[in-house]
Amino acid sequence: MKRLKFTKSKCIGCQLCAQVCSATHEGMYIPSKARIGIETYYDKGTSLKYKDSFCTLCGICAKNCPLDAITAGDKIEVNMDICNGCGVCATKCPKKVIKIFDEKAHICDTCNGDPMCVKVCPQGALRFE
């Protein structure tokens, strides 16, 4: 099964991954609604640190959804007709990457196996393998 992979040493913190994710899924450039996030910050002003936030396809969200609105396999899918935005999946997610907005759960679906974030990463810090 292919998964997103991140190489910190290649990342320049440009946020293009979050920009293209929100544009692809929401039709707007709103990184707070992106299903991926790579944050950069300076630890006590000395060295650049990274906090990566993306789905690893562990399936814990699907196992814990009380409505069975989430399925996990080669990708994570949320049935928006069933999801009521209760947030149980977001609470149980070990990487805290599930976002609840518009009363629905939003999770990376790897753009159906062709992730846009990987395509736009100028440094090749994101891979799908």
Contact 86, 78 (CB under 8 A): no
| pLDDT for 28 beyond 90 | yes
Q: Does some domain include residue 25?
A: yes
Per-residue pLDDT band for 108 (boundaries 50, 70, 90) equals very high
Per-residue pLDDT, averaged over 91-117, amounts to 94
Q: What pLDDT score was predicted for residue 1?
A: 83
Q: Does some domain include residue 50?
A: yes
User: Which residues are CB-neighbours of 124 under 8 A, at least 6 positions away?
Assistant: 7, 10
103: left (phi over 0), alpha (psi -120 to 50) or beta: left
Q: Does some domain include residue 65?
A: yes
User: Which residues are CB-neighbours of 90 under 8 A, at least 6 positions away?
Assistant: 61, 96, 98, 99, 100, 105
* Residue range(s) defining the domain that contains residue 48: 8-121
Q: What pLDDT score was predicted for residue 16?
A: 93
Q: Does some domain include residue 99?
A: yes
Q: Does some domain include residue 27?
A: yes
- 8-state DSSP, 44: T
Q: What pLDDT score was predicted for residue 25?
A: 94
Q: Round the average pLDDT of the chain to a whole number and report it.
A: 91
CATH number of the domain residue 68 falls in: 3.30.70
Q: Does some domain include residue 17?
A: yes
Summarised one tens digit per residue, pLDDT across range 37-94 is 888 777 777 777 788 888 989 999 999 999 999 999 888 999 999 999 999 999 999 9
Q: Does some domain include residue 62?
A: yes
Q: What pLDDT score was predicted for residue 110?
A: 92
Q: What is the C-alpha separation between 36 and 33, in angstroms, rounded?
A: 9
Per-residue pLDDT, averaged over 22-26, amounts to 95
Q: Does some domain include residue 128?
A: no
Q: How many domains is the chain partitioned into structurally?
A: 1
Contact 50, 70 (CB under 8 A): no
Q: What pLDDT score was predicted for residue 52?
A: 85
Percent of the chain with pLDDT over 90: 72
Q: What pLDDT score was predicted for residue 9?
A: 87
